[in-house]
Structures are given as structure tokens and as C-alpha cells.
Homo-oligomer: A and B are copies of this chain.
Amino acid sequence: MILINGREENHLSARDRGLQFGDGIFETMAVHGGRALCLQRHLKRLAGGCARLAIALPERAVLEEECARVSAGAARAVLKLIVTRGTGGRGYAPAEGAEPTRILARYPWPQYAAELHRNGVRVRVCETRLGRNTRLAGIKHLNRLEQVLARMEADFRQCHEGLMLDDRDNVIEGIMSNVFVYRRGRLCTPDLSECGVAGIMRELVLETSKEVTGFDAEIGRLGIPDLLAADECFLSNSLIGIWPISAIEETSLRVGSVAQTLRKHLVEHGIIASD
């Protein structure tokens, strides 16, 4: 089911700036028991992204109602919400007074095997790098060619995620996830001030780590050697919740208790669904 500006439709204007320039942002939410999880957090991030790109924000009540409509009746599903700057002419300049376009679509829940969050996942290091741009960093915008190219090089029969680096060899994120490294009582996730997407699950781990694990979570600079030297590493996003990393390329990593403790907490609080 797809809802475009509140109407059940599968097609949108070819003049939409989302298509023409990737001029929009999106949210990907887990739907459980007919409702989107962490909806308010997602809508808050959406508002932040719209503000940074100067895209008019659709009314919150409208977004809430449409998210509820698309989620209704789905035991488990994925809800993708796109907001674009709306339709326009040929050039880069936005049309004056253009209304943003809302596109909500429901997708099947990806059937990740339950052992992935218990036993961990293998990741590879992508050759495709992330360009740095402070104006766009952190925003879940529609310019996602870097992720597409990275995804195409990572053979997901051999691994479950690809790590993406910037041009300075900093690990920034997974193709579809954020990264955490735990070592000696310190939990750290990459700084996203120059590139990367600031995920909702990353935000939740940063907020709750101290209370849940006893360890402060901080933002810092991490390279592949830091991951290889870690006591444990894990990935986060709104669909997978938390996945421990069991191997980076050919090097095995320990699947430890920090990731499990965090995941248990998120499940108990209804933030991610149990299997």
C-alpha cells in the first residue's frame, strides 16, 4: 500500500523534485502490531532534516494519521515515509510556495534469521567511500548513490552488512546501520558531523547506554583497527535493532554481552520487537 499526499496511489508526478534531484528525506520504521515503533522520534528527526534542507514540514497530525493508516492491520512490516520538496520546474531553484510531497509505503518485514542478533553478523569493508559535507551530514536524505554503490559491491550471501569509511579512513557507519565499538568500559560510535546518517537506534543507544549497561556511550573517531581491537562491536538500526558483529572480513570478533544487554532493554521497552 502506498499513500501519496493522503491518497492511495502508486504513481507520483515525474516533476517531483525527489526524483529530479533527490531533494527530500525519508524515515524507515518498524511496524509491529499495527503501529510504527518510535514514531515520535522518527517524526522529530524528519522535522530536523526538513529544517536543515528548508523543506516545508507537513503537519504532524497529518503525518501521524497517515502513518497510522498505512501501518493498520500489519502484524509486522516496514513503513517508509518520504517527504520531498514537492514538484517544480527544470532548474535547481525551488518553485515558490511549492507544497511538499508525502509518500508513505508499507513493505514486507525482512525475515532476518533470529540467530543474527544472537550469534552476530559478518561484515565487510566497502571500497565505496562516503564523501564529506557538513551541510548534509547526519540527514537521512534521498541522495543515496553512495549506499547503492556500496550495497552492489557487498555480496550479502557472504556477509550481512558493509562498513563505510570516509576518505580519511574513519569508519562512519554501515550501509544501512550505525556502528558501535565497546572496549574497556567505553562505548563509542563514529562522529557524523561530516557524513553518515544519524540513526534513531543510535540515538537511543547513546541516550540509554549508561543506565542500561553502566557504560557511557560517546561519539568519537574510529578506524578499522579500533574495531578489530574492540572487546565487541555491534550495528544498530530501526529494523534490526542491535546486531553484534562476529567478523570483519576474515577476522572474527567476540560476540559479547553489551550488545545483548542493550537489545534486551530495547525489546523490554517495546522499542524493538522480539522475535
Contact = CB atoms under 8 A, between A and B. Distances in A.
Contacts of A112: none
Nearest to A26: B20
A9 B13 CA distance: 9
A129 to B, nearest CB: 6
A253 interface: no
Contact of A92 (B19, B142, B143, B147): B147
Contact of A152 (B15, B54, B134): B54
Interface centre among A4, A92, A93, A144 (most CB of B within 10 A): A92
A24 to B, nearest CB: 8
- Size class of A's contact patch? 35 or more
A53 B19 contact: no
A21 B94 contact: no
A22 B131 contact: no
Interface string A165-185: 001000000011000000000
Nearest to A22: B22
A28 B90 contact: yes
A78 B90 CA distance: 9
Interface in A88-138: 89-94, 103, 105, 107, 110, 128-136
Interface in A205-225: none
A82 interface: yes
A269 interface: no
Interface string A1-23: 01010000111111111111111
A23 B147 CA distance: 10
B142 A131 contact: no
Contact of A136 (B14, B131, B133): B131
Contacts of A130: 133
A141 interface: yes
A213 to B, nearest CB: 30
Contacts of A15: 2, 10, 105
Given A11-B13, A131-B136, A131-B195, A21 B149 contact: no
A93 B152 CA distance: 6
Nearest to A105: B14
Given A10-B15, A133-B167, 12 more contacts: A10-B14, A11-B14, A20-B144, A21-B22, A21-B143, A21-B145, A92-B147, A92-B176, A93-B151, A93-B156, A135-B146, A142-B145
22 contacts: A10-B14, A14-B105, A18-B19, A19-B19, A21-B142, A21-B144, A21-B145, A22-B142, A22-B143, A22-B145, A23-B144, A28-B90, A53-B145, A80-B90, A90-B105, A91-B151, A92-B144, A92-B151, A92-B176, A93-B151, A135-B149, A143-B143
